[in-house]
């Protein structure tokens, strides 16, 4: 037979969530209930009283270090799975730690604009800066920067001339 929740137990749960000091497992042990029962009761309390917060587990130094070391390698979904947290929690923590993803293309904006204005093709700029051509194309489109594709007549499997040695032979549009 299920034991009914007392008002004192409900008050403890409200305080427990507010303080965020322990886990549901700790609360369950103290109240002599199962973790599932505690979680279900918290859900019920939230329906009755909107002031009952969600349980926000505090971030440990180890989790912060993992996030700092891996936020450039993995997306938030993978990080969340590896840390046992929600995607939104990971995104929020990244913002708090000021961990922003600077795309490799964005770092080279001035160089890209200068090369595009000199008449270099997208493929040449991407190769010179060692960035993905599709990323460059997206960057150009979003920043409204005009940069030509390699004309069909000049296309080969690989561009024969690189950015450093073809400036003498090309007819530039924007001299």
Report the Cα 28 to chain-centroid distance in Å. 34
Q: Tell me: the pLDDT tens digits for 10-45?
A: 888 887 776 666 677 888 888 888 888 888 888 888
150 backbone φψ class: left, alpha, beta (φ>0; ψ -120 to 50) = beta
Average pLDDT for 56-68: 87
With both helix axes pointing from N to C terminus, report the angle between 61-70 and 76-83 in degrees, rounded to the nearest 10. Answer: 150
Residue 139 has pLDDT above 80, yes or no: yes
Residue 146 has pLDDT above 70, yes or no: yes
Instruction: Quote the mean pLDDT of the chain.
Output: 78
Average pLDDT for 3-14: 84
Q: Which two tokens stand for residue 146?
A: 């005009």
pLDDT value of residue 63: 92
Spatial distance between the Cα atoms of 78 and 75, rounded to a whole number of angstroms = 6
> In whole angstroms, how far apart are CA 148 and each of 112, 136, 160?
12, 12, 17
């Amino acid at each position: 037979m299920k034991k009914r929740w007392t008002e004192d137990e409900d008050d403890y749960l409200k305080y427990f969530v507010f303080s965020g000091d322990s886990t549901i497992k700790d609360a369950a042990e103290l109240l002599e209930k199962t973790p599932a029962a505690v979680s279900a009761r918290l859900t019920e309390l939230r329906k009755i009283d909107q002031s009952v917060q969600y349980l926000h587990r505090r971030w440990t130094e180890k989790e912060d270090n993992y996030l700092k070391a891996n936020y450039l390698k993995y997306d938030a979904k993978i990080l969340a799975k590896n840390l046992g947290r929600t995607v939104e929690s990971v995104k929020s923590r990244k913002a708090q730690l000021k961990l922003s993803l600077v795309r490799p293309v964005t770092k080279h904006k001035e160089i890209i604009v200068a090369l595009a204005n000199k008449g270099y093709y997208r493929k040449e700029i991407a190769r010179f800066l060692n960035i993905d051509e599709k990323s460059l194309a997206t960057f150009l489109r979003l920043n409204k920067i005009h940069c030509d594709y390699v004309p069909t007549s000049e296309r080969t499997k690989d561009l024969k001339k690189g950015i450093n040695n073809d400036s003498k032979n090309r007819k530039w549009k924007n001299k």
